[in-house]
């Protein structure tokens, strides 16, 4: 695993490690400002987690892996470790993930107090921290927290969508920026031997390495993301009723779940549920909340395919990964982009499904100990997504970032970009 040192400029202008710690920790709480205590308890499905669990788990991470390195450290609430350990089997027993919504206690105030106590102890630890390994773990913990900020928003959106009253997470969110989508064009990508994967300075998760060579055939990527209007054409043309367009597992899931459109779209295809409540469906906004199966079927219907992650990364390298529509924009929804030359929307708006299975790169070895459970053990049956979304923190993403979900998953802010062979 590689990490940024405290002086790295990617932390921010004149931002120390301590500054960054408190900025990110405060942001997690700020995301909860519109929620009521009752909202933070419920778990909408086994794959989602209650808001208060996200707050506690990210705090447990710092207590377990940073504060707990001191052999004399006394945990604040020893019994809570069982509740808020996510999947670190080597650390200790784990509460069943599908049952996270079943405990009403500890309550919200207790968890906020727990965060404050851990933050205070971390403040003492961060003062003059010069141990490189602890710096690495702190930076990892902060990126881990940013992952959970995104999950907090995706999970609360799913929860609120199941309420017949369709409450808004934040009614004050701005109207979605929608311009006219430019004509879909294809931009040739690099071909031949290319290197992908993280190398050099700056933070990266272990699954982004090792940097290695891949061979790319002649290909092109869509200039922009696929829009709602284009996806509506797929629906109107019977895309959800044509088994020839679907992978077998996808067709089975479609029939089992009764899919007729992306998650959160109304059955009349005129509106969608958002973090601002129900709003009119923007024709030129990027389509969002689709599974890998749906993205793959649309691409086949369009006479194209999904990009490999190597094709995507080779196109994204060198682009400004900070200019997209991220969490900091305050929209919390995909938006369209002004017509312009060159590839667009590679970062932000929606995570882009690729055709690449989530497996290890050549030479990958998980780090020793419990931290080695972070990514490597999930390299089975999942697919890679790239680019970040409108709820991803902007300073958390990079061209080599590999997100991963199971093919049927739809509650993440996931969309697609077409690719084709040349």
Q: Is residue 167 part of a domain?
A: no
Q: What is the model's pLDDT at position 128? A: 80
**What pLDDT band is residue 419 in, cutting at 50, 70 and 90?**
very high
- Domain match, 151 and 221 both: no
Question: pTM for this one?
Answer: 0.94
User: Tokens 């669990």 correspond to what residue?
Assistant: 53
Q: Which of 146, 161, 176 is the C-terminal boundary of a domain?
A: 161
- Domain match, 260 and 114 both: no
Q: What is the model's pLDDT at position 8? A: 38
Q: How many C-alpha atoms does 52 have within 13 Å on its Cβ side?
A: 26
User: Which among 9-13, 47-51, 368-372 has the top mean pLDDT?
Assistant: 47-51
Full DSSP string of 338-349 = ---SS---SSBS
CATH number at residue 372: 3.90.1580.10
Q: How many C-alpha atoms does 163 have within 13 Å on its Cβ side?
A: 18
Of 295, 293, 161, 325, the C-alpha closest to 231 is 295
Q: What is the model's pLDDT at position 177? A: 67
Give the pLDDT confidence of 260-288 residue by residue, as tens digits. Answer: 999 999 999 999 999 999 999 999 999 99
Q: How far apart are CA 151 and CA 411, in angstroms?
A: 10
- Domain match, 234 and 94 both: no
Across the chain, mean pLDDT equals 92
- Domain match, 337 and 392 both: yes
Q: Per-residue pLDDT averaged across 141-149, rounded?
A: 97
- Domain match, 190 and 153 both: no
- For residue 291, is pLDDT > 70? yes
Q: Is residue 177 part of a domain?
A: no
Q: What is the model's pLDDT at position 5? A: 34
Q: Is residue 179 part of a domain?
A: no
Three-state DSSP at 235 gives helix
- For residue 302, is pLDDT > 60? yes
Q: Domain tally for the chain? A: 2
Cβ burial of 23 (10 Å; 0-12, 13-18, 19+) is middle
Of 378, 381, 388, 372, the C-alpha closest to 206 is 372
Q: What is the model's pLDDT at position 4? A: 31
Domain that holds residue 376: 186-421
- Domain match, 156 and 190 both: no
Q: Is residue 143 part of a domain?
A: yes
Q: Is residue 405 part of a domain?
A: yes
- Domain match, 153 and 234 both: no
Lowest mean pLDDT segment, chosen from 106-120, 200-214, 228-242, 368-382: 368-382
CATH number at residue 46: 1.20.120
Pair of tokens at residue 217: 């055939």
Q: Is residue 3 part of a domain?
A: no
Q: Is residue 170 part of a domain?
A: no
**What pLDDT band is residue 94 in, cutting at 50, 70 and 90?**
confident
- Domain match, 117 and 203 both: no
């Amino acid at each position: 695993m590689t990490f940024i040192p405290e002086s790295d400029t990617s932390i921010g202008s004149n931002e120390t490690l301590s500054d960054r710690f408190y900025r990110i920790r405060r942001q997690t709480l700020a995301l909860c400002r519109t929620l009521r205590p009752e909202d933070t308890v419920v778990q909408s499905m086994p794959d989602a987690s209650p808001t208060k669990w996200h707050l506690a788990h990210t705090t447990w991470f710092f207590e377990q892996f940073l504060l707990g390195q001191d052999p004399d450290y006394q945990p604040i609430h020893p019994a809570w470790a069982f509740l808020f350990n996510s999947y670190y089997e080597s650390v200790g027993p784990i509460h069943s993930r599908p049952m996270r919504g079943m405990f009403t206690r500890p309550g919200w105030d207790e968890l906020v107090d727990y965060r404050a106590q851990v933050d205070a102890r971390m403040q003492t630890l961060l003062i003059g921290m010069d141990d490189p390994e602890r710096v690495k773990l702190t930076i990892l913990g902060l990126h881990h927290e940013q992952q959970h900020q995104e999950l907090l928003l995706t999970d609360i959106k799913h929860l609120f969508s199941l309420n017949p009253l369709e409450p808004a997470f934040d009614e004050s969110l701005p109207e979605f920026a929608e311009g006219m989508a430019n004509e879909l064009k294809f931009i040739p990508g690099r071909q031949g031997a290319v290197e992908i994967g993280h190398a050099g300075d700056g933070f990266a998760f272990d699954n982004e390495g090792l940097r290695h060579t891949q061979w790319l055939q002649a290909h092109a990527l869509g200039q922009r993301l696929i829009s709602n209007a284009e996806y509506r054409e797929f629906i109107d043309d019977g895309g959800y009723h044509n088994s020839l367009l679907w992978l077998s597992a996808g067709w089975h899931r479609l029939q089992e779940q009764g899919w007729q459109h992306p998650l959160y779209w109304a059955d009349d295809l005129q509106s969608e549920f958002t973090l601002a409540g129900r709003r009119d469906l923007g024709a030129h906004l990027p389509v969002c909340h689709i599974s890998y199966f749906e993205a793959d079927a649309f691409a086949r219907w369009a006479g194209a395919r999904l990009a490999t992650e190597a094709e995507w990364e080779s196109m994204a390298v060198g682009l400004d990964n900070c200019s997209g529509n991220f969490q900091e924009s305050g929209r919390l929804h995909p938006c369209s982009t002004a017509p312009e030359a060159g590839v667009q929307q590679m970062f932000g708006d929606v995570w882009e499904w690729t055709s690449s299975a989530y497996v290890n790169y050549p030479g990958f070895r998980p780090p020793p100990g419990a931290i080695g459970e972070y990514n490597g053990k999930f390299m089975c049956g999942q697919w890679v997504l790239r680019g970040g979304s409108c709820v991803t923190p902007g300073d958390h993403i990079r061209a080599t970032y590999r997100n991963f979900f199971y093919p049927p998953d739809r509650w993440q802010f996931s969309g697609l970009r077409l690719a084709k062979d040349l």
